[in-house]
Amino acid sequence: MALRIETFSNVKGGNAFFKAIGHPLAARRMPALLRRLSDGPVAVYDPYGFARALAEIYDLSGLDLAGVFVQDVGDLGTTVLGQPTQPVTGLKDSAARRILVAAFDAERLIDHIGHLIPAGAETISLDDIRIDTDMLTDRRHYLNSLNFATNLALFRDAGGQHTRLVTANYWSGYGAKAPEMWCDLMDDTGVTLAEWREALPPAGGTIVIDSAEVRRRFGLDEFTGHIFLHVLGVAGHDVVKYALDTYGDDANSLSCTHDANAWPAECYAGLPAPKEDERVVLWVQNSHPTPIPAGSVGLNVMGTTDVAWLQHEIPSFGVHALDTKSLLPTVRWPQQIEVQAGKHFVRPRYEVFAKNGRSRIAHANVERSDLSPDPRLPDMGNLMGKGYILPAPVLPAGRFRSIVMPTPMATTQETLPVKVLVYDAKGREVAAKHFGCLRRDHAKVMDVSGLMAEGTSNGDWGHMELVYDFADGGEADGWLHGLFRYEDRNSGHVAETSFGAHMFNTVLTYRGEPQSYAGRAPGLSTRLFLRLGTAPAADTLCHLIYAASTPWHAQSQTRLVLHDRTGAEVAARDVEIPCGGSLLWRTSEMFDPSELTAAGEAGYVLIRDQTCRLFGYHGLTHGETAFSLDHMFGF
């Protein structure tokens, strides 16, 4: 059963209530509140409709209920906690000894019903499980989303594998005065291993949390689990973005992914099936302080309805390694797997273990259930040009295979009418290849490396763009996604990444596109974060793509600014990228050794352009034996 909680709305944004009741500190305080309520009968006053969500996260079945009371007469006639709702004016006639006000900031609500509380009854509210006041950005409005700038990250230091999380203090750039980060490291059973606070550096400074350093600092044994991040005192953004590198004691393990998306969803997709010589493990991170019951998480082949359910309970805040072959033993690449998540966990990462001993980590994506085909899209070309574009690198074809697989990413998508356009570095189209109108259950991939090598004499790298193609019919909704896989022909190492399409570099807007970092569309500027590599994966690579839905400025005016960990500028380079072209570069080639030394391992490059929106991919290199790749984040 899916949790009946509201996590994220594409209209209203993230929901702070589920974050407030599911915060690890709130979870520690909830047992005391439940003990106070155990001496019933208990009347529940539910003025905002929060009681259902509360009961999804905490077991309220043991309460001796004297009724559920509501404020809005429009809520009468419904059933909440198994009780028919009653008007709050009837509270005075109840036999309640305890009144639970299912709300935060409840003092005013309690004042309103003071004359209705039965004589001798005790009033209790969710304010009893509030986190500490000094952790709040807005102390007057507890459910302000800025009070819950939180996220989860898969975190491991075991078996010779380590994790390094890097982000920047972008909140002070929006006016935050002295932000901090509260960290709660939990093992796979949900038990806290370490808890600490870190003062954030000045605006633009970096925050680095390395599993090996954490393990040394707290004297921990090997662990596999996750880390809960809560940034305090934020401004501008309630989203905690980060780059997450997984690295090993040898070159067999090297991956990078980005933030986990802080809002648990009902379904995820874009999970690749394993090859014959692979295992694909889905890392299920329980995001709530309540167990995931057996039979609540399932996998099915994309385009089918036959779900195989995990018959294993996952503890509160626990982490479970789900081997896809245990549920779908015969499914093989290039088939795709759909994840039935029931809002129990955030966007999951998956790990691919190959027979050659190498492993890699990537992430699935949220599959939306609120979309329907947009009949206007097939006729938008005269206004929006190429419209939605999903750009991705084509790495040097002599060394890498660059493979693309379109992925259905909405439950209503029955067709995917797409094609691939291939461009060299100068923005010249060298190939166009039609996938046709794919079915939801398709298992088709395309290796575009040969198309690049055949189509240009100006190097063998560039980029591809996945775009809509209605030549063979089909419907579209703007939620175009793809999985991009890169295979090193020499070392056998593989990296993969997935993302969705946007409109780029057009002054006309459509449904909030081109997206903006802040303010209204169109977003026509770039601010991307590129973290630097650390030994042994010491070099950092970056592929910047200047995609354009309609013709835009002929050249970008891009500035690459190298910073140290305090945010101080160390060096800068100016580069130009042709419209429709791309730039593949390494920090060791762009900056002098002395400059990189001054920046340090915790330094970063800010990619800034005020004339156009660039899309970027970043990764690390372990000599010539391993590499990683994922798309970048901006702020």
**What secondary structure does DSSP assign to 305-340, as a single string?**
--PEE----B-TT-EEEEEHHHH-TT--TT-EEEEE
CA distance 633 to 529: 6
Could you give the percent of the chain with pLDDT greater than 90?
A: 90
Confidence at residue 519, expressed as pLDDT on a 0 to 100 scale: 83
Residues 174 and 288 in one domain: yes
Indicate the DSSP class of residue 52: H
Domain match, 214 and 357 both: yes
Judge whether 600 and 563 are in contact, CB under 8 Å.
no
Instruction: Round the average pLDDT of the chain to a whole number and report it.
Output: 95
At 13, the pLDDT band (50, 70, 90 cuts) reads low
Q: What angle do CA 132, 136, 138 make, to 5 degrees?
A: 140
**544 vs 242: CA distance, rounded Å:** 19
From 154-163, 203-212, 618-627, the region with the lowest mean pLDDT = 618-627
- β-bridge mates for residue 123, sequence order: 99
Residues 6+ apart with CB under 8 A from 286: 190, 292, 314, 315, 316, 317, 318, 319, 320, 344, 345
Single-letter amino acid code for the residue at 229? L
**Amino acid 517: pLDDT:** 78
Residue 2 lies in a domain: no
Domain at 14, CATH number: 3.40.50.720
- What amino acid occupies position 503? M
Asked if residue 141 belongs to a domain, the reply is: no
Tens digit of pLDDT for each residue in 472-531? 999 999 999 999 999 999 999 999 999 999 999 999 999 999 998 778 999 999 999 999
Same domain, 410 and 456: yes
Strands 180-187 and 223-232, by their bridges, are antiparallel
Domain range for 468: 370-501
DSSP class of 375: T
d(CA 540, CA 203): 23
Residues 248 and 183 in one domain: yes
Which residue type occupies 573?
R
Verify that 590 and 448 share a domain, yes or no: no
Residue 323 included in any domain: yes
In a domain, 47, yes or no: yes
Residue 155 and residue 249 in one domain: yes
Report the number of distinct structural domains present in the chain. Answer: 4
pLDDT digits (tens, 9 = 90+) for 54-95: 999 999 999 999 999 999 999 999 999 999 999 999 999 999
Q: DSSP string of 407-476?
A: E--BTT--EEEEEEEEEETTS-EEEEEEEEEEETT----EE-HHHHHHH-SS-S-EEEEEEE--TT----
Give 262's pLDDT tier (boundaries 50, 70, 90).
confident
Residue 138 falls within a domain, yes or no?
no
- H/E stretch holding 112: helix 107-112
Segment 89-110 mean pLDDT: 96
Domain-located, residue 486: yes
Say yes or no to pLDDT of 450 above 90.
no
Query: d(Cα 195, Cα 157) in Å, to the nearest integer?
Result: 16
pLDDT score recorded for residue 467: 98
Between the alpha carbon of residue 500 and those of residues 142, 246, 489, 629, the distances in Å are 33, 23, 27, 16
Determine the pLDDT at residue 9. Answer: 60
In SS3 terms, 264-276 reads as: CCCEEEEEECCCC
Confidence class for position 260, pLDDT limits 50, 70, 90:
confident
Confidence of residue 18 (pLDDT cuts 50, 70, 90): very high
Residues 122 and 168 reside in one and the same domain: no
Residues 227, 333: one domain? yes
| 514 part of a folded domain | no
Structure confidence at residue 331 as a pLDDT band (50, 70, 90): very high
Q: What CATH number corresponds to the domain at position 537?
A: 2.60.290.11
**77 and 26 in a common domain:** yes
Do both 395 and 298 map to the same domain?
Answer: no
Asked if 354 and 381 sit in the same domain, the reply is no
Question: Any long-range contacts for 84-89 (C-beta under 8 Å, 24+ apart)?
Answer: 85/46, 88/45, 88/47, 88/113, 88/116, 89/116
Secondary element (H or E) of residue 295: none
Is residue 3 in a domain? no
Are residue 262 and residue 339 in the same domain, yes or no? yes
- Helix H or strand E segment including 485: strand 481-488
Give the domain-ending residue among 501, 532, 551. 501
Domain end call among 101, 133, 165: 133
Asked which of 501, 536, 570 is the last residue of a domain, the reply is 501
Which of residues 472 and 10 earns the better pLDDT score? Answer: 472
